[in-house]
Amino acid sequence: MELHVPARPAPFRFRPRAAALLVIDMQGDFLLPGGFGEALGNDVGELQRTIAPTRAVLDAARAAGLLVVHTREGHRPDLSDCPPAKRAHGRSGLRIGEPGPRGRILVRGEAGWDIVPELAPGPGEPVIDKPGKGAFHATDLEAVLRNHGIEALFVAGVTTEVCVQSTVREANDRGFRCLVLADCVASYFPEYHRVTLDMIAAQGGIAGSVGTSADVIAALA
């Protein structure tokens, strides 16, 4: 069965059995007040608007039997998987591994590293722990998707121009077709969000397609 979703630059077609929902880095350190993102001076309100529509598409994907995959950005407690350049990034007191308002910043197992409760992974849903921005870098995401016969990805998560864009480009190079859900992705910088979605869909969908959660939910109903 092939379904179609309205999208930029053209309708996005998919077979439910070969489609997955990929939810990227919906972690407290990025989304919640008192987290790493806010400590960096960002307005987390921009990101919080993604939680409700992502929850709605998550419910629809689960009901339709789609594979749901979650990612978390974070590092080993000894930071042995964190490149020195990434570790040195940012102001002192706000670097990866340092104590933040929700525990050590972007360290696996800390409170801020957890996925927000509304979007908690369900039983059996793969969770990919990633040390980088792209979800394919140094992870088994590609193996998980290929072993499930996945060819199309619905993409939600944060932030649009950082981990979402990196992941979509990595996916595109590996032959996966991505539909980025505009209302389920966000940036601390609205302009970067808008321009990133334009870039993805430009040149006939050079990196992917852009749609909405409502249209995916309608297609899956």
What does the binding site for ligand TIU look like in residue numbers (CB under 6 A)? 25, 30, 73, 158-159, 162-163
Kindly name the residue from 29, 82, 114, 130 that is annotated as catalytic.
130
Nearer residue to ligand TIU within complex by CB, 8 or 193:
193
For residue 86, indicate whether it is catalytic.
Answer: no
Closest CB 188 distance from ligand TIU, rounded Å: 6
**Token digits for 203?**
């040149």
For residue 163, indicate whether it is catalytic.
Answer: yes
DSSP string, the chain: --EEE--BSSPEEE-GGGEEEEEE--BHHHHSTTSHHHHTT--THHHHTTHHHHHHHHHHHHHHT-EEEEEEE-B-TT-TTS-HHHHT-S-TTSSTTSEEBTEETTBTTSGGGSBPGGGPPPTT--EEEESSSSSSTTSSHHHHHHHTT--EEEEEEE-IIIIIHHHHHHHHHTT-EEEEEEEEEE-SSHHHHHHHHHHHHHHHHSS-EEE-HHHHHHHH-
- Asked if 10 and 205 count as a contact pair (C-beta separation under 8 A), the reply is yes
Nearer residue to ligand TIU within complex by CB, 51 or 158:
158
For residue 25, indicate whether it is catalytic.
Answer: yes
Nearer residue to ligand TIU within complex by CB, 63 or 120:
120
Closest CB 25 distance from ligand TIU, rounded Å: 4
Nearer residue to ligand TIU within complex by CB, 40 or 214:
40
Closest CB 96 distance from ligand TIU, rounded Å: 9
Kindly name the residue from 82, 163, 178, 184 that is annotated as catalytic.
163
Closest CB 148 distance from ligand TIU, rounded Å: 23
Active site residue ranges: 25, 130, 163
